[in-house]
Amino acid sequence: MRRSAALVALLTATTVLVGGAEAGASHSRPKVPEAIGYGGAVASIDADATAIGISVLRRGGNAVDAAVATAAALGVTDPFSNGIGGGGFFVFYEARTGKIHTIDGRETTPMAATETLFQENGAPIPFAEGMTSGLSVGVPGTPRTWQRALQMWGRKSLKDVMKPAEQLARSGFVVDQTFRNQIANNAARFSAFPSTRDLYLPGGQPPAVGTKFRNPDMANTYRELADTNLKSLYGGQIGKDVVKTVQQPPKDPASTLNVRPGKMTEADLARYDAPLREPTKTSYRGLDVYGMAPPSSGGTTVGEALNILEPTNLSKLSKTDYLHYFLESTRLAFADRNRWIGDPAFSNVPTRELLSQRFADSRACLINPTKALTSPVAPGDPRNPQPCATTGQGVAAEIGSKHTTHLTTADAWGNVVAYTLTIESEGGNGIVVPGRGFLLNNELTDFNFAPLFPGVPDPNLPAAGKRPRSSMAPTIVLRNGKPFFATGSPGGASIITTVTQVVTGRVDRGMSLKDAIAAPRASQRNSAAAQVEKEFLAQPETAELIVRGQGFSSAPAEIGAATGVERLPDGRWIAAAETVRRGGGSAAVVIPVRW
């Protein structure tokens, strides 16, 4: 009784942190990678965004409200990874019913697109030229995702949950090294567009660390979106501005970049929908692992890798053996992902068969405990699985974006959200919509520019109204029908390997969620060499893995920036985020306690 009274007193006394007050601070908000307590939890890559999510929970919002508010804030403080110009996938555990729901907020191609969208004279255009163009812009799905989630499961209005982020954009936030670095990385692209250059390269340089950055155009755009309940984007003036930017990229005439116009129309925006989809589900060690179904390959590929690992007791293996099996499981799962996954509205995607234990066993038998497979491994046939059989030609996965973002929220009622959202490349297509303050996505570069599999249909070629294959893998794990933990990560195709590594680290290797997120990363995607972080190369086990034939190449930077939440048996929540990657993440709970 004393504890309950104390918790009520703490909650009553807690200061309500709303966006404007937080944004007005003259110092950088500290980042904490782990928090434990009651009342709900938020974990994201940014401290201001996490604080806004917590403020919504403290004002009576639920996990859905907090997720949308946090996402809107990340569009302000982490605009090179996500925002209203992009899309994503929303996975929700509803405590009232015990069901998992998912929203597909993936961008779509304009109706004028064909499978030769990224081809000229019968050949694919250079990837870099596709990336920075109007051609690469998919119809944005993030705002519609927010609206759909709030209408179905939220407690607050779109205007209410977007207001703190609007205030944050208007009042400003403190520039950190990551924000400055991301602008510097893209200075050549950004400087080609006056609307982008004026916002992010004032005086020709990125803003200095420690200074206040304001984006009043974004604040006004947020306010207009909320006031019109998104009609201004999906049928109004904001939409007109987006279409003009896509069709007539506002390039500086002095720039030498070849920036092709795109095909999006106002009608494409008006017809956009963010549909509900059945989640993927697989059983692993007696747990139920839920994820995102196609057009995301996240749920199927994480699920297949776990199914491949299911017969092997990873908890009893040496660390070297564990890592070997982990690498081989994702190598095989990616061979199948690359062959079979696309938009289910355009291809007969064998989702159920890819997630069957029978198919996983037919792939697992290819694993030699002491010798790595040679990539690219050919895919299997999930509709007719034969032990150790392969079919056709294998290909390695694309590198893809590394600059998505993932947030995880939970509330006092037991609801949980795992939400991954993106504008694809760091900085999207590089173009800020003039007068609107947000970057557009280049998500359509996730399509294959040309067929990859000779003689068979490629499920990931562009088509009118199609959604490109994604690797986003927001994941919720249930134990006995109740939340155990949820996680997800940015990182392009490496999202899948990161989430698989976090799940096995937490479930099989006895790590805390924070330690599983912090562990050195390796990403094997059916290539000759797995991309690995320098910390992974420094492990003594890596030399033993090389003896077994595992190949490694250094990743250009860190892999992913995961977040998660976990429910403890006594009702407390753990919020967990990165300790180092991207400057560290930010975890918080409504009422921090440790007893």
Distance separating alpha carbons of residues 321 and 433, to the nearest angstrom: 50
301, 404, 409, 497: which is the annotated catalytic residue?
Answer: 404
Q: Are 63 and 410 in contact (CB under 8 A)?
A: yes
241 is in an annotated binding site: no
236 is in an annotated binding site: no
Distance separating alpha carbons of residues 286 and 446, to the nearest angstrom: 34
Torsion of CA 502, 470, 583, 326, to 10 degrees: 30
Whole-Å CA distances, 455 to 51, 314, 349, 458: 52, 39, 18, 9
98 is in an annotated binding site: no
How many CB atoms lie under 10 A from the CB of residue 266? 15
Closest C-alpha among 348, 457, 400 to residue 136 = 400
Active site residue 404: yes
DSSP 536-567: HHTSHHHHHHHHTT--EEE-SS-----EEEEE
**What 3-state DSSP class applies to 486?**
strand
106 is in an annotated binding site: yes
Whole-Å CA distances, 327 to 310, 323, 464, 539, 584: 14, 6, 36, 15, 26
Closest C-alpha among 81, 32, 83, 73 to residue 53 = 73
CA 231, 234, 237, 241 torsion: positive or negative?
Answer: positive
Closest C-alpha among 146, 28, 30, 34 to residue 82 = 146
Amino acid letter, residue 503: V
DSSP 444-476: GGGS-SS-SSTTS--TTS--TTPPPPB----EE
Indicate the burial class of 454 (C-beta count within 10 angstroms; 0-12, 13-18, 19 or more): exposed
Amino acid letter, residue 257: L
318 is in an annotated binding site: no
Distance separating alpha carbons of residues 53 and 43, to the nearest angstrom: 9
Binding region for L-glutamate: 106, 446, 470-471, 492
Catalytically active residues, by annotation:
404
